[in-house]
Amino acid sequence: MIPDTFSEHLESRAATSPGGGAGVTWRGFWTGTFLSFLLAIGAPYANTAMHATFMAWDFNTPGAIFLFLVLIGLLNVMFKVAARHRGLALGLALVALAAYLAYYLPQPKVDFLKPGLWFASFLVASAALNVGLVLRGGTLALGRADLVLVYIMLLMVSALCSMGMSQQLLPILAAFFYYATPANKWEEKLHQLFPQHAILVDDGADNSSFFEGIAPGTGAIPYAAWAEPLAWWAIFLIALYVAMVSIAVILRRQWMERERLAYPLTQVGLAMVHGEGEGLVNRFFKSRAVWYGCALPMFFGMFKALHHYDPAIPSIHALQWSIPYVGSQTLQLRISFAMIGFSYLINTSISAGLWVFQLIAKAESEALILMGVTSKQKFVYGIAGQPYLAYQGGGALIAMVLVGLWMGRDHLRAVCRKAFAGAAEVDDDDEIASYRASVFGLIASVAVMVGWLWLMGVKWWVAVGFIAVALLIFIGISRVVAEAGLAAVRSPMIAPDLMIHGLGSNLIGAGGVFNLSLAYIWAADIRIFIMALIANGLKLVEDMDRRSRRMVLWGVYLAILIGAAGSCWMVLHITYRHGGINLVGWFYKGGPQTVYNYAVLGLKPQGIAWDGLAFFAGGGAVMFALMWARQHVLWWPFHPLGFAVAANHLMDKIWFSIFVAWAIKRVVLRFGGPRFYAQSVRFFLGLIMGETLCNGLWVVIDYFTGKTNNILFILG
């Protein structure tokens, strides 16, 4: 008898293979386009206009998962029901149209910034389109391949619509003229370094309308002031995103097939996709264990949300504590249901390495304080409180990447042979893009980014080194996310800090300091970015035919376009409507001020930071030793990956959830064995679904009730 799990796997392969006849279709692009646009405008609307939970903040991508749950749990079911009879399809369309007109016709003015309007319009249009399909014997219901396409598109949008791009880009471009004062010396020190090309926004009135808002009927958005800066930044960012997608394609086979990385973050999407079948209800929703797990975060989140509506309703706050550790160091004990769910899917040696190296890093930080080993440099991102540990972690991360590239040298040589010589023995038919397109896309993108920085006033060798370091850091964090499944992670050190403060302004030059400080837009608070998410998304296309895989590439670039344009449109208009200073404080004040304050600080004459680079080299050496131990010492229990990302403030917040998941998994494997572990996974997937559903449902409820500041679950 074939086990149920293996039967589902075989069914999944058949459903997405050429013989299964279920490749990517236009229906996937239709649904993916609308849901991508909804996420692109909905996520920034939620955290700005509503001050609600961030739905596109970290790699857990709650907004993408929530919309996908709506798709498979509601929309797809409706279209399957409608496909059973023409009358049902017509009835669904008429009900949708009647509800739409009944709600919007009485309103004196339609607000196009309201995400609900766009979702309702999508429902009406889809219901009408479905009628035509059903009359011809078809349906708008999506098969597994189309669902994979939609999910990957939502992942791409998640990387751009909030923390990853738009809410960093626009405020920083406008902040200089608004916040410049004689005290901060921005005008005195930085204005002379502006390139000839307008890459910052100046509307002639200090951009005050962007930060203070435009009263209705008193003015218009100065689009002309934004046109040239956004055009210049579009050139750079498009090149960056093409480079990220190309690198993900080049490394996919090495990571996925040769090294067999686990990709824990994809397990939620895989479970939902593989649960789709001929029945009305997705099998993922039929698991009791999923709903048991879902109930926990829903219970705690419900009380927390209702408490914001009525303070008389008790809010359960017993999910975080703090205890003393060593010296002045404390340990945060925080329970995150989603983090526990994701961490339960991690190999126990990886999860052990994460929390053990976090404790070691705390002890090391205290030891440095006691010995008086402190740095004069100060950082905001990465390991901000202890610069030497930032250098150490940065060296470890880059060493991990370099060792990984060396281990994959045979694969990389094969990729180059295919790209430059057309080697017939190298097969790239299972990639979403050919190796030739990926390699030349990467080369062209790097050339554009280097040329862009040089054109703006950066020395050519500084530009080359900076782009190389930035891409290595992106690869490193992508590797961490793919292998460890960390839903929230930051680089221990960012590329601008390593170049400006590590090499010093004397080498970098004033133009380099200014322009690399502006790189904080895309290379600083990298809690979410395209490379890591596309690397995980490629795990979902394993069983697709060649045509469908290549179609996914078009979906990826379409989603990037929608995510960038849609989110920038929403952020721009919602900011001019409400005023940036009334929205998210960090995005509109703290983050932009950090860019220019650190540019002024970086201009002070300083040479190479040999002390910091010594820790950088030491971190790299320790990482080499740990990776050697991992490969050659069989009893070595801790994965070296944890050493690279320990000590940052995000790990301080999530390490205990990782520890809890590690402890539970150890007990389950010890007393229940692999079979019981496989059964228990559904419960922990339910924890992830429950936290996501709770966040999403209360955002929807708050949207209709007008409630603001109702923030529930965030990872860090």
Mean pLDDT of 429-436: 93
**Is the model's pLDDT at 359 over the cut of 90?**
yes
Amino acid identity of 570? Answer: M
Mean pLDDT of 393-407: 95
Q: Per-residue confidence at 2, pLDDT binned at 50, 70, 90?
A: very low
Q: What's the rounded Cα separation, in Å, for the pair 683 and 527?
A: 27
Q: What's the rounded Cα separation, in Å, for the pair 331 and 334?
A: 9
The two structure tokens encoding residue 567: 């989110």
- For 566-594, the pLDDT digits (tens) are 999 999 999 999 999 999 888 999 999 99
Name residues whose C-beta falls within 8 Å of residue 594's C-beta, 6 or more positions apart in sequence.
380, 520
CA dihedral over 330, 335, 336, 341, signed as positive or negative = positive
Q: What's the rounded Cα separation, in Å, for the pair 453 and 222?
A: 27
The two structure tokens encoding residue 89: 């399809």
- For 57-77, the pLDDT digits (tens) are 889 899 999 999 999 999 999
Q: What's the rounded Cα separation, in Å, for the pair 642 and 484?
A: 9
**Is the model's pLDDT at 205 over the cut of 80?**
yes
Predicted confidence at residue 297, as pLDDT, reads: 93
Nearest Cα residue to 715 out of 487, 480, 522 = 487
Mean pLDDT of 219-241: 94
Angle between the N-to-C axes of helices 460-484 and 348-370, in degrees from 0 to 180, rounded to the nearest 10: 130
Q: Per-residue confidence at 21, pLDDT binned at 50, 70, 90?
A: very low
| Unique residue bearing structure tokens 């690399």 | 516
Predicted confidence at residue 12, as pLDDT, reads: 46
Nearest Cα residue to 230 out of 534, 521, 599 = 521
**Is the model's pLDDT at 171 over the cut of 50?**
yes
Name residues whose C-beta falls within 8 Å of residue 686's C-beta, 6 or more positions apart in sequence.
287, 289, 290, 291, 292, 293, 294, 295, 341
Name residues whose C-beta falls within 8 Å of residue 401's C-beta, 6 or more positions apart in sequence.
472, 475, 476, 479
Predicted confidence at residue 378, as pLDDT, reads: 85
Provide the 8-state DSSP code for 401: H
**Is the model's pLDDT at 19 over the cut of 50?**
no
Residue 596 in contact with residue 176, Cβ under 8 Å?
A: yes
Q: What's the rounded Cα separation, in Å, for the pair 684 and 96?
A: 36
Partners of 61 in beta bridges = none
Predicted confidence at residue 659, as pLDDT, reads: 94
Q: How far is CA 565 from CA 110, 183, 234, 562, in A?
A: 21, 36, 10, 5
Residue 595 in contact with residue 517, Cβ under 8 Å?
A: yes
Residue 43 in contact with residue 673, Cβ under 8 Å?
A: no
Query: Rounded to 5 degrees, what are φ and ψ at 446?
Result: -65, -40
> Which percentage of the chain shows pLDDT scores above 90?
72
Q: Per-residue confidence at 18, pLDDT binned at 50, 70, 90?
A: very low
**Is the model's pLDDT at 213 over the cut of 50?**
yes
> Which percentage of the chain shows pLDDT scores above 70?
97
The two structure tokens encoding residue 121: 């319009």
**Is the model's pLDDT at 611 over the cut of 50?**
yes
Predicted confidence at residue 107, as pLDDT, reads: 87
**Is the model's pLDDT at 17 over the cut of 70?**
no
Provide the 8-state DSSP code for 139: -
The per-residue pLDDT of the chain, averaged, comes to 90
| Length in residues, the chain | 716
**Is the model's pLDDT at 1 over the cut of 50?**
no
> Per DSSP, which regions of 226-319 are E strands?
none
Burial class (CB in 10 A: 0-12, 13-18, 19+), 25: middle
Cα separation of the two ends of the chain: 46
Partners of 322 in beta bridges = 332
**Is the model's pLDDT at 686 over the cut of 50?**
yes
Predicted confidence at residue 22, as pLDDT, reads: 60
**Is the model's pLDDT at 262 over the cut of 80?**
yes
Residue 59 in contact with residue 265, Cβ under 8 Å?
A: yes
Residue 696 in contact with residue 55, Cβ under 8 Å?
A: yes
Predicted confidence at residue 10, as pLDDT, reads: 43
Provide the 8-state DSSP code for 426: S
Predicted confidence at residue 318, as pLDDT, reads: 61
Q: What's the rounded Cα separation, in Å, for the pair 222 and 205?
A: 10
What DSSP assignment string belongs to 165-211?
A: THHHHHHHHHHHHHH--TTTTHHHHHGGG--SS--S---SSTTHHHH
> How is the chain split into domains, by residue range?
166-217+231-705
Residue 435 in contact with residue 443, Cβ under 8 Å?
A: no
| Unique residue bearing structure tokens 């039929």 | 286
pTM for the full predicted model: 0.93
Residue 198 in contact with residue 142, Cβ under 8 Å?
A: no
Least confident of 78-87, 213-222, 544-553: 213-222
**Most confident option among 287-296, 362-371, 538-547:** 287-296
